[in-house]
Amino acid sequence: MSFLKHLHVAYRLQPICPIEGRFGARGQAEFPLRALQFKRGLLHEFQKGNTSKEQVHLHDLVQQLPKAIIIGVRKGGTRALLEMLNLHPAVVKASQEIHFFDNDENYAKGIEWYRKKMPFSYPQQITIEKSPAYFITEEVPERIYKMNSSIKLLIIVREPTTRAISDYTQVLEGKERKNKTYYKFEKLAIDPNTCEVNTKYKAVRTSIYTKHLERWLKYFPIEQFHIVDGDRLITEPLPELQLVEKFLNLPPRISQYNLYFNATRGFYCLRFNIIFNKCLAGSKGRIHPEVDPSVITKLRKFFHPFNQKFYQITGRTLNWP
Ligand code: A3P
């Protein structure tokens, strides 16, 4: 029996996922069950090399350029956002960060190279990729504009000082893995000569969201962006995801059933159906080092005017300190 036949039988015998069950007649017409089967099983099998390209072609599957991109921000919760959106039957994620627009070597390979990096999907589904470096890389807005001037752009942000510390924690972990020593966060974030915030430190610069956004606004109107509150995505993911569904003009399909709090991980995890659950990798949700409170205060004061500008431009107030 072919793999596809196996899959079909398996899906008929096993209980149906509640989000599929809630599809009315209209929903089914929009997202055929076989698309769901592909998303939930065949895609993984294909990626693992368990089924051939020929079989996939039989099902009219195509590799589509993304209709929406999570452009950043690094450590904002970009992976969690992508994985959670992928719960939606009409969304297909590009699993890897592709780094097409921010990497000159990749960009030189051309748009067909990029398209071939995309997952297989049905024409009525939308592909989403995430590469957080896009947000801060000078050339990217123009390059994305040239591909698709009406693309939807998602930016997930966290309180800027927390994000900077998270960024530092990731770099620190990399150094420790290589048995290298590294500076303390305080030393990097504060210029020892002036005692002012060190704006040359990348983790600080990345958190000045408004500066980066302003570059993007030279190419795209603000209506093409949606801001996701990364702090709320951690504590209360569903309402944030529902706002994204609306922004992407998708019918609401992600429900509380799809998200459950895992006390051991201390984060929400994903439930596709009664069989498939997953939490994000352990590299998401690291314990941050303790940082001198006076440095935190200084950073928060520094970010404050930039945050105000960010709220004003985006129309989303996040009440950061
Ligand atoms: P920390 O490691 O600082 O806690 P990114 O994917 O952009 O690198 O972001 C990583 C951050 O995603 C983590 O930062 C974590 O707080 C956040 N996050 C949000 N929702 C999460 C979830 N459900 N599981 C794990 N991490 C999550």
Residue nearest to atom 4 of ligand 1 (CA): 285
Q: Which H or E run includes 264?
A: none
| pLDDT over 70 (residue 303) | yes
Distance, in Å, from the CA atom of 158 to the CA atom of 16, rounded to the nearest integer, reads: 36
What does pLDDT average to over the chain?
87
pLDDT at 263 over 60: yes
H-assigned helices in the chain: 3-13, 18-21, 25-30, 33-37, 43-47, 53-58, 78-85, 104-107, 111-116, 140-147, 160-177, 185-189, 202-206, 209-216, 230-235, 237-247, 293-314
pLDDT reported for residue 194: 95
- Is 75 assigned a catalytic role? yes
3-state secondary structure of 190: strand
| Res. 52 pLDDT band, cuts 50 70 90 | low
Q: How far apart are CA 145 and CA 183, in angstroms?
A: 39
Residue 10 confidence (pLDDT): 29
**What share of the chain has pLDDT > 70, as a percent?**
82
Ligand 1 centroid – CA 230 distance (Å): 8
Q: Is 288 annotated as a binding residue?
A: yes
Q: Count other C-beta atoms under 10 Å from residue 84's C-beta.
A: 25
Which residue has tokens 């709220």? Answer: 311
200 or 14: whose pLDDT is higher?
200
With b for 16 or more beta-carbon neighbours within 10 A and e for fewer, the 241-261 pattern comes to bebbbebbebeebbeebbbee
Catalytic hit among 5, 67, 75, 180: 75
For ligand 1, what atom is nearest to the CA of residue 268? 23
Convert the pLDDT of each residue in 149-191 to its tens digit: 999 999 999 999 999 999 999 999 999 999 999 999 999 999 9
Confidence of residue 12 (pLDDT cuts 50, 70, 90): very low
Contact 253, 89 (CB under 8 A): yes
pLDDT reported for residue 60: 81
Q: What per-residue confidence (pLDDT) applies to 16?
A: 27
> Would you state the pLDDT for residue 43?
54
Ligand 1 site residues, Cβ closer than 6 angstroms: 74-80, 132, 166, 233-234, 267-268, 280, 284-286
**How would you classify the pairing of strands 62-63 and 120-121?**
antiparallel
CB 119 within 8 A of CB 44: no
49 is in an annotated binding site: no
| Whole-angstrom distance, CA of residue 203 vs CA of residue 72 | 13
Q: What is the DSSP letter of 80?
A: H
**Dist CA 284 CA 286 (whole Å):** 6
pLDDT category at 21 given cuts 50, 70, 90 is very low
Supply the pTM of this predicted model.
0.86
User: Residue 205 contacts by C-beta under 8 Å, 6 or more apart in sequence?
Assistant: 136, 199, 211
Asked whether 268 and 235 are in contact (CB, 8 A), the reply is: no
Q: Assess whether pLDDT exceeds 60 at residue 61.
A: yes
Q: Which CATH architecture has domain 3-314?
A: 3-Layer(aba) Sandwich (3.40)
Q: Average pLDDT, stretch 4-14?
A: 30
41 in a known ligand binding site: no
pLDDT at 253: 97
Q: What is the pLDDT of residues 82-126, one digit of tens each?
A: 999 999 999 999 999 999 999 999 999 999 999 999 999 999 999
CA gap 95, 109 in Å, rounded:
20
Backbone φ and ψ of 254, nearest 5° = -85, 130
| For range 65-86, the mean pLDDT | 98
The more confident residue out of 24 and 212 is 212
From first CA to last CA, the distance across the chain in angstroms is 60
Name the residue of 228, 284, 291 whose CB sits within 8 Å of the most ligand 1 atoms, as the mutation to test its pocket.
284
Could you tell me the sign of the dihedral formed by the alpha carbons of 97, 142, 248, 112, in that order? negative
- The annotation status of 77 as a binding-site residue, yes or no, is yes
- Quickly state the pLDDT bin for 9 (edges 50, 70, 90): very low
- pLDDT for 241 equals 98
By DSSP bridging, strand 120-121 and strand 152-157 are unpaired
Question: Pick from 160, 137, 134, 148: which is nearest to 72 by CA?
Answer: 134
Name the closest-CA residue to atom 11, ligand 1. 77
- Cα–ligand 1 centroid distance for 197 (angstroms): 25
Domain edges within the chain: 3-314
For residue 31, pLDDT beyond 50: no
